[in-house]
């Protein structure tokens, strides 16, 4: 397995980390060439460490399939700011150089879906004992998912207003952490989420993904050929 691209994701890249925040590593790898051409190539490699740090890497082929549909997590990975990039292989650089080609109003569809998925967990009690469980018992809702909902919708609003995909929430840090720790009323945050989702829904395009699919496939093929030429 060759790591092509590895970044720090999660709260650190969002500008929302606190002292107890763990590290989330995300990225893309090229599978072992024998398994890729034969049997057993993996789509994903994930690892959770005892200290809470997590690592999740997608195979290049899987990443290409997902980014062609503007998968929200893959968009975050692809548009990670340089200061949070740990590894960037020259092989993967064409994806970085052409990443703006994956921006369109199509991006808002999975973005709104991701936000809705987080909202569906709003009343799910955290399973691990600790501060989150205590806060749920006090407030009656899971503030983590409400925070994620607002954060993602704010990314969408910035994309509409500026044409830039940027998951850095430093400018909204106090407000979002206020939601996370229950100091911003749930009703206020939910109303804000409804307003943002309505704004995004109006802008959603009915375009298909043909152009993005062709681009993603071409990039995956060219990167794979370049790597295999070196290995075979």
Q: What is the pLDDT of residues 137-153, one digit of tens each?
A: 999 999 999 999 999 99
Predicted pLDDT of residue 34: 81
Domains of the chain: 2-99 (3.30.460.10), 105-203 (no CATH)
CB 24 within 8 A of CB 77: no
- Taking the C-alpha atoms of residue 225 and residue 143, their distance in angstroms, rounded to an integer, is 46
DSSP state of 38: S
Predicted pLDDT of residue 209: 66
- Taking the C-alpha atoms of residue 99 and residue 159, their distance in angstroms, rounded to an integer, is 14
Query: Taking all residues of the chain, what is their mean pLDDT, rounded to a whole number?
Result: 91
Q: What is the pLDDT of residues 79-135, one digit of tens each?
A: 999 999 999 999 999 999 999 999 988 889 889 999 999 999 999 999 989 999 999
CB 5 within 8 A of CB 89: yes
Q: What is the pTM of this model?
A: 0.90
Residue 71 predicted with pLDDT over 70: yes
- Taking the C-alpha atoms of residue 92 and residue 138, their distance in angstroms, rounded to an integer, is 47
Predicted pLDDT of residue 208: 64
């Amino acid at each position: 397995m060759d790591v092509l691209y590895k970044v720090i994701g999660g709260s650190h890249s969002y500008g929302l980390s606190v002292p107890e925040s763990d590290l989330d590593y995300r990225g893309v790898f090229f599978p072992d060439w024998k398994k890729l051409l034969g049997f057993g190539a993996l789509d994903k490699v994930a690892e959770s460490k005892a200290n809470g740090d997590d690592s999740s890497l997608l195979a290049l082929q899987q990443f290409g399939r997902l980014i062609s549909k503007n998968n929200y997590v893959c968009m975050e990975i692809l548009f990670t700011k340089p200061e949070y990039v740990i590894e960037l292989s020259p092989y993967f650089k064409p994806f970085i150089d052409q990443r703006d080609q994956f921006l369109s109003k199509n991006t808002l569809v999975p973005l709104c879906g991701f936000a809705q998925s987080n909202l569906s967990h709003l009343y799910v009690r955290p399973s691990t004992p600790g501060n989150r469980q205590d806060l749920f018992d006090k407030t009656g809702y899971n503030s983590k998912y409400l925070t994620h909902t607002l954060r993602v919708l704010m990314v969408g609003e910035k994309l509409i207003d500026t044409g830039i995909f940027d998951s850095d929430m430093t400018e909204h840090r106090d407000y979002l952490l206020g939601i996370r720790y229950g100091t911003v009323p749930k009703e206020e945050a939910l109303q804000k989420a409804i307003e943002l989702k309505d704004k995004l829904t109006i802008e959603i395009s009915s375009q298909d993904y043909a152009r993005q699919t062709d681009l993603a496939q071409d990039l995956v093929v060219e990167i794979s050929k370049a790597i295999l030429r070196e290995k075979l």
